[in-house]
Structure 1
Amino acid sequence: MHAKRKLAALVGVSLAPVIAVSLPASTASAHGYISSPPSRQAQCAAGSVDCGPIKWEPQSVEGPKGLKSCSGGNERFAELNDDSKGWRVTDVGQSQTFTWKLTARHATSTWQYFAGGQKIAEFDDGGAQPGATVTHDVNFGGLSGQQKVLAVWNVADTANAFYACVDVNIR
């Protein structure tokens, strides 16, 4: 009887790596992106712009804090940095409400918005954990015309942030 148990254990240990490798890969754990006005990754997810893997993971644009790129420094999503890709531009007034859709709620230090080469808004959450959606009313401070808004969600308890770019035409 003891030999049968050893054989069963040996077979199980031998097969475990094979089974693990053959299972389909799960999608990345989700996080968040701007859904309104539609961010570049929201446009990819909706199919209104032809994109690569970001189409399936609009919430996964994560990278180290302090970056100024739409892709968050993530090469898999580099097309988000391509300003000539045909992104839909949303007409807005001097202020606009931005809505984040969160699929994993991380403790948050700050939410930052940049346009025209400057920070135009910052909201401090002081480590709070947000709900499933977060909205911010952002004033463009006199900017006008077509602008690319970089929005950054700084996570409180890691060195990472989530990035989203939104193309707007400020009237």
Structure 2
Amino acid sequence: MPPLRTFAPRKSALVIAAVAGAGLPLLSAAPALAHGYTTAPPSRALLCQQGTVRNCGPIQWEPQSTEGPKGFPAAGPADGTICAAGDSRWAPLDDPRGGAWPATSLTSGASFTFTWKLTAAHATTSFRYFVTRDGWNPTQPLTRAQLDLTPFLQVNYGGRIPPYSVAHTGTLPAKHGRHMILAVWDIADTGNAFYQCSDVNFG
């Protein structure tokens, strides 16, 4: 990134005066939009950012940006585009890679603490966690038919703003073998949510 350029106060004042005199609106700092990604279990977006998985495209620089329409599962990203939040820029996250994404080992039915890193917090409705059904096909892009559509863990925020480090402890579902956990962060005051897919193995 090139260094920021600074101007002497008098010159800045002249620039502002010129813009105002031209009848153009002055730009003000807009509030930050919400962004974040799951760190435990690590999401596909985070694995790309860390370089654990290669050939991910631009998501490697923006693991926090998997933002798409909220309302899942009734609305939200289309089937086959859920991990990328329906955004074609992040399409490599939907590629199952033959079922070869690194998977985090979990214990069926055990207590587990899910964690997020937020780069910009926002008023929040809830964080919800879904898991794939038994017999799902890890070599196919994720669809609603492959998921248990009732979250096994839901933490409601009622519009409160979460901290930048978020932790939710709950009981893992009774599963065995390879699965995927879909974490959905529902934003309260926009029409969007954040979607994070984590490959896991219950042994």
Number of residues paired by the alignment? 150
Deviation above 4 Å: which 4+ runs of structure 1? none
Pairs within 5 Å for 1:110-149? 110-116=126-132, 117-118=147-148, 119-149=151-181
Instruction: Tell me the distance in 2 between the aligned counterparts of 1:168 and 1:39.
Output: 10
- Aligned Cα RMSD in Å? 2.3
Q: How many Å apart are 1:30 and its aligned residue? A: 6.3
Q: How many Å apart are 1:36 and its aligned residue? A: 1.9
Could you give the per-residue CA deviations for residues 117-162 of structure 1, whole angstroms, max 9, x where no partner exists? Answer: 1122111111110111111123232122111111000001111001
Instruction: Tell me the distance in 2 between the aligned counterparts of 1:133 and 1:143.
Output: 28
- Which 10-residue stretch deviates more, 60-69 or 100-109? 60-69
- Which 10-residue stretch deviates more, 96-105 or 134-143? 134-143
Q: Does 1:98 align with 2:114?
A: yes
Q: Does the 8 Å CA contact 2:34/2:122 hold for their aligned counterparts?
A: no
Q: How many Å apart are 1:29 and its aligned residue? A: 6.0
Q: Does 1:46 align with 2:13?
A: no
Q: Structure 2-normalised TM-score?
A: 0.67
Q: Does the 8 Å CA contact 2:85/2:195 hold for their aligned counterparts?
A: yes
Q: Structure 1-normalised TM-score?
A: 0.79
Instruction: Tell me the distance in 2 between the aligned counterparts of 1:138 and 1:44.
Output: 26
Could you give the per-residue CA deviations for residues 18-54 of structure 1, whole angstroms, max 9, x where no partner exists? Answer: xxxxxxxxxx966100012211000000011111000
Q: Does 1:57 align with 2:73?
A: no
Q: Hey, what does 1:3 align to over in structure 2? A: none
Instruction: Tell me the distance in 2 between the aligned counterparts of 1:168 and 1:145.
Output: 8
- Which 10-residue stretch deviates more, 88-97 or 106-115? 88-97
Give SS of 1:147's match.
strand
Instruction: Tell me the distance in 1 between the aligned counterparts of 2:181 and 2:43.
Output: 9
Residue identity matched to 2:115: T
Instruction: Tell me the distance in 1 between the aligned counterparts of 2:59 and 2:130.
Output: 22
Paired-residue identity, %: 47
Q: Hey, what does 1:83 align to over in structure 2? A: 96
Q: Hey, what does 2:38 align to over in structure 1? A: 34
Q: Does 1:107 align with 2:111?
A: no
In structure 2, relative to structure 1, the CA distance for the partners of 1:32 and 1:110 (3 Å cut) is same
Unpaired runs of 5+ residues, structure 1, are 1-8, 14-27
Q: Hey, what does 1:21 align to over in structure 2? A: none
